[in-house]
Amino acid sequence: MTHPSRDHTLAHSGEETLLLDHVAPAAHPKVVRDELIAAAEWVSQYLSDLVTAPVSRPVPARQRALLRNASLGRTGSELGRVLDFVREDIAPFPTGNGHPAFFAWINSPPAPAGLIAELLGAAINATCGMGENALMDLERGGVRILADLAGLPVTAGGVLTSGGSMANLLALATARTWFLNRRGSGDGPAYDRDHARLTLYYSAQAHMSVAKAAACIGIPAHRLRPITSDPQHRLDPDALRAAVDADQAAGLLPFCTVTTLGTTATGAVDPLEPVTALCRRVGMWHHADGAWGGLGAVVPAMAPLYEGVAGVDSLTVDPHKTLSVPVGCGALLVTDPEHLHTAFAHRASYLTACEPDTLPWLSHATIELTRPGTRALALWATLQHLGRDGITTLIEHYLTLADRLREKITASPRLELLAGGPWPVACFRLTDTTGSDPDALHTRVAHHVQTAGRAYLATVTVDGRTVLRACLCNYRTTESDLDLLLHEVLHAADRDREAQVRPPR
């Protein structure tokens, strides 16, 4: 009889060894354990060291070429090579979104609970697409919690996605199927006739993934209607109504309006109730893109803006933005999940359950079949680590920091605040732009800040002007990082001024 603790020695003796030696993924359990421990130690050290390292370091051209031209040797390498490679060739060149002085885009650092869960989930390696397994039910549970936080009705369901873009794509495909089926034009000549008239509405401030998703489902650009926004960069319901009426009069078929909760450029929240009312009147689907701001209902200060959120047909949320779940975690929430299943449930003989499942598989609610269970576990771990209060406090922390940043900008005679809010972002510019094209100047200043490596921000176009944009979505950011950012901006402006007066030879 073999003692369990000797199993691995058995597997590595005699003929077994010969076999396993030819199957590279198999490694001695002790080696696997040592490497996992080494990796875990490196990760925790890396996360602590990030704060004192440069925010971002561009990948040297030589290094980039080396990575791009990667070749594969004939013989494999030791398991330890994985950590060595990451340490030496990847980690020294971060984009910067782990660093507290990183303010570009909406790019959060990873929450530790999510990091741990990703590793554990990868070991379990469940696929959340077919069959029944614990992680698939956990995904359903995570989706339920997100829907509840967002203020959707208890009937709501949905599916996790790789991010907001994919969620928006699923939403538009669902809206299209729902709309055509209701008209009895789900297939046949009626489909061709009606599909060629489908028209989509969204605010001019909507994320570009909306137009991209429209292209993917076959809505050409000439049937997209970016609606003008008001001075606070919110969708103007009157302009929307006028566009829909004009299109209907012209024989087109308005099938969906997309509102944005937390616009990417300025953090605006579109009005929900007037849009839902219009959608009900003309039979359109109301999709809300809340990739950044979809969970605003949990924050008392913002809740009034989310009145009526329960009336939307679908909502995109992006836990990898708002909650710092490691990248690769978005969700589409649908008030009546049946519509999602109508759009995506396709059956095949090689995919039948042994036991008839009581619930639709998650692959029947999305495009993917084999889907990562790591995503469900990382979401669950992050949500549970935060708790409901922690989620509110986290978003409130960003709101407070954004208020402080806007105050500091307003207080500086050299800076002017142009837009930002209610989601935590500040769009601002230099007051003195004499001698430079202002758009080019702000692009250069952002670039100087990025390359100096002490803080990081990006530019954005607001009301036709290129301006600096700082976004708060890093739980490690503190007030001193705000001061550092503004110091870096002014320093970059001074350096730019000198370079313009005395161009480098």
Ligand X SMILES: *Cc1c(COP(=O)(O)O)cnc(C)c1O
**Which parts of this chain interact with ligand X (CB under 6 A)?**
106, 163-165, 168, 207, 209, 260, 264, 289, 291-292, 318, 330
Helical packing angle, 237-249 and 273-282, nearest 10°: 10
DSSP class of residue 326? P
Distance CA 144, CA 387 (A): 14
Closer to ligand X at the Cβ: 146 or 486?
A: 146
Closer to ligand X at the Cβ: 43 or 161?
A: 161
What does the buried/exposed string (b/e) look like for 461-489 if buried means 16 or more CB atoms within 10 Å of the residue's CB? ebeeebbbbbbbbbbbbeeebbebbbebb
Closer to ligand X at the Cβ: 261 or 492?
A: 261
Least separation in angstroms between CB 164 and ligand X? 2
Count of CB atoms situated within 10 Å of the CB of 442: 25
Pairing, β 198-203 against β 253-260: parallel
Least separation in angstroms between CB 488 and ligand X? 25
Least separation in angstroms between CB 471 and ligand X? 10
CB-facing half-sphere around the CA of 368: CA atoms within 13 A: 15
User: Which one, of 459, 455, 460, lies nearest residue 485 by Cα?
Assistant: 455
DSSP class of residue 443? H
Least separation in angstroms between CB 265 and ligand X? 9
Least separation in angstroms between CB 103 and ligand X? 15
User: Which one, of 424, 432, 412, 426, lies nearest residue 469 by Cα?
Assistant: 426
Closer to ligand X at the Cβ: 208 or 501?
A: 208
Least separation in angstroms between CB 173 and ligand X? 16
Closer to ligand X at the Cβ: 106 or 172?
A: 106
What's the distance, Cα to Cα, between the start and end of the chain in Å?
Answer: 81
Least separation in angstroms between CB 467 and ligand X? 18
Closer to ligand X at the Cβ: 158 or 444?
A: 158
Cβ proximity of 186 and 177 under 8 Å: yes
3-state secondary structure of 470: strand
Least separation in angstroms between CB 328 and ligand X? 9
| Tokens representing residue 32 in the block | 């696997």
Least separation in angstroms between CB 482 and ligand X? 22
3-state secondary structure of 415: strand
DSSP class of residue 58? P
Residue whose pair of structure tokens reads 């594969």 in the numeric block? 72
Adjacent-strand bridge partners of 316: 289, 332
Cβ proximity of 293 and 473 under 8 Å: no
Closer to ligand X at the Cβ: 174 or 209?
A: 209
Closer to ligand X at the Cβ: 108 or 477?
A: 108
Please state, in angstroms and as integers, the Cα–Cα distance from residue 330 to each residue in 1, 9, 144, 318, following that order: 50, 44, 14, 4
Cβ proximity of 305 and 317 under 8 Å: no
Closer to ligand X at the Cβ: 225 or 287?
A: 287
Least separation in angstroms between CB 254 and ligand X? 21
Closer to ligand X at the Cβ: 204 or 282?
A: 204
